[in-house]
Amino acid sequence: MKIFPAIDIKDKKCVRLIKGDFDNKIEYKMSPVEQAGQYKYHGFKNLHIVDLDGALTGETVNLDIIDDIVNKFGLKVEIGGGIRNLESIQKYIDVNVDKVILGSAAIKDKNFLKEACEKFSNKIALGLDAKDGYLSVFGWKESSNQLTLDFLKEVNDYGVSRLIYTDINRDGMKQSPNFEETSKVAEISNCPVIISGGVSSIEDVKKAKDLKNIEGIIVGKAIYDGDIQLEELIKEDA
């Protein structure tokens, strides 16, 4: 199972949001590039990055930082946050990002998701961020009134190469991921699923390995707060 250490970027800094609330964030000392270097040093091959500035503006605000991380360390980066058109996807592909995560724009416009999958084969990941079973959009500020599983069934044959499922109620709370709901998503998904939100201990990571159709798990706040040491986490990476 792949381990995806997380870097959330806001105002050129590493931050973590609590339940996706931009007014409730923690800033960390290391720059995003320095943090990525730490992950590379410990042997991680994959990285999950969210451009929070992009999530709010719909622009590739931190493209220079992403470019620096990808090409300095050779990490396989999946990037999300405010990617709402084919031009933005192309910009990330041009700096050698491994996967581009579409979220709000794909939920609002399924044709955009389909077109992106057709144009950028094997490069598009779908980010489904859910709260109480319903998808949330635009930096988690709005509910879409769309049930997660219903939406997935509608787009399952579009050619998405990876699905990232986040339970917003768990994100940044370190109360363990929503394994039950993630299992339901993984059961019907045509592509491998990444678990996100709430990882609190190495036991959570080990538990994720037992689930079917799970490609990996994203670990963020538990690393930053010292609840999981990189030395023990890398042992679970495959």
Catalytic residue among 8, 51, 171, 237: 8
Is the Cβ–Cβ distance between 85 and 102 less than 8 Å? no
Catalytic status, residue 129: yes
Catalytic status, residue 8: yes
Catalytic residue among 51, 98, 129, 167: 129
Phi, psi of 172 (to 5 degrees): 75, 5
- The residues assigned a catalytic role are 8, 129
